[in-house]
Amino acid sequence: MPSTIDIRRRIRSTKNTQQITKAMKMVSAAKLRRAQDRIFAARPYAAALREVLASVATRVEGISHPLLESREAERNVLVVIITADRGLCGAFNTNVIRAAVNTIQERGWQSVQLMPIGRKAIDFFKRRPYPIRHSAQLVKALSLEHAREISVMLGEDFTSGAADAVYVVYNEFRSIMSQIVRVDRLLPIERAWDQNAPAVEYLYEPGPAQILGELLPKHIEYQLYRALLESAAAEQGARMTAMEAATKNASDMISHLTLTYNRIRQAAITKEIIEIVSGAAAAEG
């Protein structure tokens, strides 16, 4: 049975840990609010960009652009995997990495190259037999410029033939308690525009073909930016949930240790009283 000194030491250590987890929860809550504002602002823009892209595409006959070229077979595939730089966020990183590995194994691509974004993904895959073509760490102040640099590299790999398709695996933010792992094809761009949709006549300057050529790279850039924002918001939500659970578990452990401490202390006091009474009785006898 542990001594009262050991239990007091464990209670003190657990209280210190509880203070840390509680502080991390509060920090994540503040960061989550800012991340939510950014993703809620990005989603309508991404949807509007897709609508404009579809509207312009329906007015261009015989669309031909390197980012639209669909290869007959996806032999060489580049997979972008977005995780966090840090842990202590539950199964956030594990779920993304597991989904990426399962996707690679299930689809049976002939050649797969990876672009891990985030230190957790980089540390995991550099010890695995998967070739890493590019890698990038997340920056604290995630910006559109950061997404633009990555999208340019991906576009060059696709247009040069180094990759027949580019997929991105990331956590989509749904709520504080829910993050959904998504596997989306980034390149080639899907021709999702509806040719039968009612057309509204617009005047374009310059022509629709030139505008479409400008919109397609921006579309890739912003879809990647939205995925990074989704992952950042999901990370803070997962960390907030994990730290809240850790704080609650610490409280339960402190209660259990305190109860055990009181029982041991009470047993020691009772034993001392019995010894005193027995000694007094023996002396009187």
- Whole-structure pTM value: 0.83
What pLDDT is attached to residue 48? 82
Kindly give the residue spans of alpha helices, DSSP state H, lying in 109-207.
119-125, 144-159
Residue 30, amino acid:
A
The per-residue DSSP string of 21-88 comes to: HHHHHHHHHHHHHHHHHHHHHHHHHHHHHHHHHHHHHTT-SS---GGG---SS--EEEEEEE--SS--
155 & 267 share domain: no
Strand partners of residue 77:
112, 165
What pLDDT is attached to residue 204? 66
Residue 83, amino acid:
T
253 & 121 share domain: no
What kind and span of H or E run contains 111?
Answer: strand 111-117
54 & 93 share domain: yes
SS3 243: helix
How many domains in the chain?
2
Burial of 22: CB neighbours in 10 Å, binned 0-12, 13-18, 19+: middle
257 & 227 share domain: no
88 & 171 share domain: yes
Distance CA 28, CA 90 (A): 13
Distance CA 115, CA 121 (A): 9
- Which residues form the domain of 224? 30-193+202-240
Identified catalytic residue from 82, 89, 96, 169: 89
230 & 257 share domain: no
Distance CA 46, CA 33 (A): 20
183 & 251 share domain: no
Residues 103-138: pLDDT tens digits?
998 887 878 999 999 999 999 998 888 899 888 877
> Biggest alpha carbon distance in the chain?
116
95 & 173 share domain: yes
135 & 106 share domain: yes
What pLDDT is attached to residue 161? 85
Distance CA 92, CA 85 (A): 11
Q: How confident is the prediction along the chain (285 residues), in pLDDT tens digits per residue?
A: 678 888 899 999 999 999 999 999 999 999 999 888 888 888 888 888 877 777 776 666 666 777 777 777 788 899 999 999 888 898 999 999 999 999 998 887 878 999 999 999 999 998 888 899 888 877 666 788 888 889 999 999 888 888 889 999 999 998 888 889 999 998 887 766 555 555 556 666 677 777 777 888 888 888 899 999 999 999 999 999 999 999 999 999 999 999 988 888 888 888 888 878 777 777 775
215 & 171 share domain: yes
162 & 260 share domain: no
Tell me if residue 89 is catalytic. yes
